[in-house]
């Protein structure tokens, strides 16, 4: 099967500072990759680099065979990247519905599953349907995260980049979001890279995993295998046992 995402020798950072060192990874169509690592190891920098929001020094990024690393961020969205940054970046002065309709774009030709529309986002997150006319400023943290995810979905991407989607949210909302993410990836077959602080929850809904340390990949392999080796996982994440 042809890879969906192929990253080779990626070095990137901020200005002259290099944070990622020769990162290589790949994702097959329909697969979910859990991106793990201690604080400050470069997870957000890798997500932002794929989205075109850092200084890339070396390496290549191909999505479905298309060269991404030479494109500016907005053209990467058009090429199929659905980025949900850590800051969520919703338009706070627009309503929920305006946030969704402002960015919606038709699905690519040849797509197997139904395209994402604002109506399908409301079906995924009934809370957003109830808040349709509310401004972004009037939403809870969980609702903002649902809207940020909905906004990425209506771009009809081929690869979702989710940076700590559950950060700072109440456990009941985390469960709701994880269920939605599982539905999007498992049932709809959308590919995703997910950064999360709670490895077990995210490994359980991922096919593969990559662990970063000091900006380099120190584990790349099956999510289940990592889940079944808690001692290795703790070692890679620097957790004392
Ligand atoms: N805008 C920036 N300018 C300069 N350096 C930055 C910037 N953002 C992050 N860094 C540095 O890059 C390194 C990696 O940070 P990054 O946020 O990618 O890590 P992370 O693994 O996502 O951490 P966390 O789990 O805490 O979010 C850190 O040393 C950080 O200080």
pLDDT tens-place string over residues 223-237:
999 999 999 999 999
What separation, in Å, do the N-terminal and C-terminal C-alpha atoms of the chain show?
Answer: 40
With tokens 């970063």, the residue in question is 212
When pLDDT is averaged across residues 13-41 and rounded to a whole number, the result is 95
Nearest CA to ligand 1 atom 9: 45
Neighbours of 241 (CB within 10 A): 6
Nearest CA to ligand 1 atom 18: 42
Would you say residue 241 has pLDDT above 60? no
Distance 194 CA to ligand 1 centre (A): 16
- What Cα–Cα distance (Å) separates residue 203 from each residue in 62, 141, 197, 213, 227? 25, 24, 11, 18, 6
Nearest CA to ligand 1 atom 26: 39
When pLDDT is averaged across residues 91-101 and rounded to a whole number, the result is 94
Query: What does the DSSP assignment read for the chain?
Result: ---SEEEEEEEEEETTEEEEEEEEEEE-TT-EEEEE-STTSSHHHHHHHHHT-SEEEEEEEEETTEE-TTS-HHHHHHHTEEEE-TT----TTSBHHHHHHHH--PPPTT-SSPPP-HHHHHHH-HHHHHTTTSBGGGS-HHHHHHHHHHHHHTT--SEEEEESTTTT--HHHHHHHHHHHHIIIIIT--EEEEE-S-HHHHHTT-SEEEEEETTEEEEEEEHHHHHT-HHHHHHHTT---
Distance 122 CA to ligand 1 centre (A): 34
Pocket of ligand 1 (CB under 6 A): 14, 17, 19, 37, 39-45
Domain residue extents for the chain: 5-236
From 167, 136, 171, 168, select the one nearest 150 (Cα to Cα). Answer: 136
pLDDT score at 6: 97
Given ligand 1 and candidates 44, 196, 198, which is best to mutate, with the most ligand atoms within 8 Å of its CB?
44
Given ligand 1 and candidates 42, 57, 214, 218, which is best to mutate, with the most ligand atoms within 8 Å of its CB?
42
CATH class of the domain whose range is 5-236:
alpha beta
Quote the pTM value.
0.94
- The pLDDT tens digits for 112-159 are 578 899 999 999 999 999 999 999 999 999 999 999 999 999 999 999
pLDDT score at 43: 97
């Amino acid at each position: 099967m042809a890879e969906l995402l192929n990253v080779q020798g990626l070095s990137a950072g901020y200005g002259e500072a290099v944070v990622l060192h020769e990162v290589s990874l790949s994702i097959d169509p329909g697969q979910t990759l859990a991106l793990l690592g201690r604080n400050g190891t470069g997870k957000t920098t890798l997500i932002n680099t794929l989205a075109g929001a850092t200084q890339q020094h070396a390496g290549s990024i191909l999505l479905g065979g298309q060269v991404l690393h030479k494109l500016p961020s907005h053209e990467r969205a058009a090429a199929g990247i659905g980025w949900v940054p850590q800051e969520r970046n919703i338009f706070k002065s627009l309503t929920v519905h305006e946030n969704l309709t402002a960015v919606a774009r038709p699905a690519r030709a040849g797509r197997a599953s139904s395209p994402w529309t604002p109506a399908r986002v409301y079906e995924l997150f009934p809370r957003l349907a109830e808040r349709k006319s509310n401004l972004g400023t009037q939403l809870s943290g969980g609702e903002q995260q649902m809207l940020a995810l909905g906004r990425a979905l209506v771009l009809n991407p081929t690869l979702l980049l989710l940076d700590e989607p559950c950060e700072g949210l109440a456990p009941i909302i985390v469960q709701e979001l994880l269920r939605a993410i599982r539905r999007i990836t498992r049932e709809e077959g959308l590919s995703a890279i997910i950064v999360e602080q709670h490895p077990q929850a995210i490994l359980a809904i991922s096919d593969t995993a990559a662990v970063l340390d000091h900006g380099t990949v120190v584990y790349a392999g099956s999510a289940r295998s990592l889940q079944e080796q808690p001692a290795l996982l703790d070692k890679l994440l620097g957790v004392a046992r």
